[in-house]
């Protein structure tokens, strides 16, 4: 609700989220470097998220709708990468449901952000919800990773 009436908070969320994804992806790369799986999708995701952080910072100067479109395209692209990666990892490592669900949700959310870009208040409210779900999925992945590392 606060983001709905605070363009400054919306700007911060739009810029910080893809930057935070870079951090999460780099941690994932580090955790899986010896897992015998290709890390190329994570590196691609990292580059896309860095470019998106810059693009959102530029687009927000034109307006929230433009930034939501950039953010939506990013969510779709990285969500698709995450979804495919989760499915591939599931075959090798098992589990991966948080990654699969999160990837699918990101694709749908990206479409939603683009569709609602010209209704910025609605898009910003959805951004807050998307961020909350993203934090939840990061928490699930961290718990699972911690359990895996503890068992080994």
How much is the pLDDT for 32?
81
Low-confidence ranges of the chain (pLDDT < 70): 1-7, 120-152
This prediction has a pTM of 0.77
pLDDT at 3: 46
Alpha-helical segments (H) within 6-119: 7-31, 40-59, 64-93, 97-115
- Burial tier of 20 (Cβ tally within 10 Å: 0-12, 13-18, 19+): middle
């Amino acid at each position: 609700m606060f983001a709905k009436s605070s363009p400054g908070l919306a700007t911060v969320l739009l810029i910080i989220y893809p930057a935070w994804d870079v951090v999460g992806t780099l941690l994932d790369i580090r955790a899986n470097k010896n897992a015998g799986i290709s890390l190329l999708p994570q590196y691609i995701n990292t580059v896309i998220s860095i470019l998106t952080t810059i693009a959102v910072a530029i687009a927000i100067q034109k307006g929230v709708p433009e930034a939501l479109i950039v953010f939506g395209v990013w969510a779709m692209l990285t969500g698709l990468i995450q979804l495919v990666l989760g499915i591939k990892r599931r075959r090798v490592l098992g589990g991966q449901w948080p990654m699969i669900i999160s990837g699918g949700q990101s694709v749908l959310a990206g479409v939603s952000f683009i569709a609602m870009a010209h209704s910025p208040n609605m898009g910003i409210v959805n951004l807050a919800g998307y961020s909350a779900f993203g934090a939840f999925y990061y928490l699930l992945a961290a718990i699972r990773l911690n359990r895996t590392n503890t068992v080994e």
